[in-house]
Amino acid sequence: MSALFNIIVPVFLIVGFGYLVAWRGIFRESAVDGLMVFAQNFAAPTLLFASMSRLDLGTEFRPALLLPFYVGAFASFFIGWAGARFVFHRPPMDCVAIGFTCLFSNSLLLGIPIMERAYGPGSLSGNWAIIAIHSPLLYTFGITFMEFTRAHGSGLSVGGVALRAMTGVLRTPLVIGILTGMTMNVLQQAGLVMPEGFWAAVDMIAGAALPAALFGLGGILYRYRPEGDTGAIAMCCACSLLIHPGIAYGLGRITGLDDAGLRSAVMTAAMAPGVNAYLFANLYGAAKRVAATTVLVGTAVSVLSIWMWLAILP
């Protein structure tokens, strides 16, 4: 019970506060949008830049950690895609958007604060290693899958689809933060020393990322009214909150992943779909209601599912 109140509730209180002030009209939609632009386009990329700059690239990027998480992620995608296609009989582009909703966990805005409160700041190395390739890999996969689905029968070449997908991914602020951070990491290994004032400024902006994003997330969630598509939404929530972390846990145990790595893989996998899942659906105009409502319902239900995974983990 202490985990629920000491680890999970403080994070979701910030989300709930953002939801409350948006609901009461104290924090208007334009203000929510402005805050999320700052958080997602500037503060969160700066946080990723700082974290990637300081990550031990030689020890944290290990298959034993990454494979359980990403096997679970892609399994969730194909379960969601197949369920949408063969059970709910959705159009092809809707199937991809629903699969992406099952695939893309909120690894940064929810995963990092929950993990830090549960196991301390020193436990985050595995999370940062997963996050380092999370957006680049999953966006590339999702955009490529969607572009091939859209291009089916249009005669567009494989190279054209791949170029369109890669261009879209490289323009994403979070990906830019990851890539520049890893570049800085390599330069520092080569002897580059940045002045303390530079890192002080970086850390000040990075420190604003999570509280601003969590507060803004509450305001964004207020817009997503639960509507219809109950079966598809329930499937997406089950994939995100149970199947993905369940596969990560099982594979981690089978392969002998250490306790620290297992916590990072499972807790990152156990997060509800983030706003990016809706942004992806909105980008293509496919399954927007399913994605939006899953973000809202999944975030609410994850209070209990995260508590369960914290109890299961060593």
- Tens digit of each residue's pLDDT (9 = 90 or more) over 213-249: 899 989 988 887 666 789 999 999 999 999 999 999 9
Q: Which residues contact 59 (CB under 8 A, 6 or more apart)?
A: none
Enclosing H/E stretch for 59: helix 57-60
Structural class in CATH, domain 1-312? mainly alpha
What is the pTM for the complete model shown? 0.88
Tell me the domain boundaries of the chain. 1-312
Q: How confident is the model at residue 170 (pLDDT cuts 50, 70, 90)?
A: confident
Q: Residues 136, 138, 144, 148: what is their CA dihedral angle, to the nearest 10 degrees?
A: 180
Q: Is the dihedral of CA 76, 78, 81, 82 positive or negative?
A: negative
Q: What mean pLDDT value characterizes the chain?
A: 91
Of residues 197 and 220, more confidently modeled: 197
Tell whether the model's pLDDT for residue 121 goes beyond 70: yes
User: Of the candidates 54, 22, 128, 85, which has an alpha carbon nearest to the alpha carbon of residue 286?
Assistant: 85
- Residue 272's Cβ-side half-sphere holds a number of Cα atoms within 13 Å equal to 27
For 101, phi and psi rounded to 5 degrees? -60, -40
DSSP state, 241?
I
Cα 241 from Cα 138, distance rounded (Å): 18
Helix axes 196-222, 288-312, angle to 10 degrees: 120
H and E: helices and strands count for the chain: 17, 0
- Residue 105 three-state SS: strand
